[in-house]
Amino acid sequence: MATLRLGDIAPDFEAETTLGKIHFHEWLGDSWGVLFSHPADFTPVCTTELGTVANYYPEFVKRNTKVIALSVDGLKSHLEWIKDINETQGTTVNFPIIADEDQKVATLYDMIHPNANDKFTVRSVFIIGADKKIKLTLTYPASTGRNFDELLRVIDSLQLTANYSVATPANWKEGEDVVISPAIPDSEIPTKFPKGFKYIKYYLRTTPQPNK
């Protein structure tokens, strides 16, 4: 299938998970979502990743975001592996892991890259908005663990820019100044951004984060 692009509707599916059977779009409801794949159970980098997500779980909840993992291993393997994750990472895995032995979901989301490995999924990440549209895609090689602080930062940016005519500059973090959309004329800025603004260039104007 064609590669999924930003703005596409995230493909719907039904799957068995460690927390029961789900219908993906129904499970998401009106939440944002993060779907991320890992190459295999009982592997070192993946163990640290799923432990990190479990420890960060309250941060995702704060952002009205559900997280769900996937690998092409089976449910029994997942459940055994979770015991290791909880033990070694000092956590409790409290989000579902999809058992995708038939690679149905992995194929739907183009998570298997034959030039990297023709059996296991790469480290794919999809951030999905409450409108079920794909807002971000990332692909990491199997050898590189993901930075979940960055994923939270991206969610903060996506949720902010979905509601205000702003963009977030390089290395932006929650609470810092943002960039006003070039489509907003100077004359409208005082009304739209009552906190004030800084004029740097006609195309570069900044303002304090509007929802803080």
Judged by phi (left if over 0) then psi (alpha if -120 to 50, else beta), residue 7 lies in left
Of 15, 28, 35, 46, the catalytic one is: 46
Task: Give the Cβ contact number of residue 47 at 10 Å.
Answer: 19
H runs (alpha helix) in the chain: 24-28, 44-62, 75-89, 104-108, 148-163, 189-192
Q: Determine the 3-state secondary structure of 89 from DSSP.
A: helix
Would you tell me the crossing angle of helices 44-62 and 75-89 to the nearest 10 degrees? 80
- Our answer to whether residue 210 is catalytic in this structure is no
Active-site residue list:
46
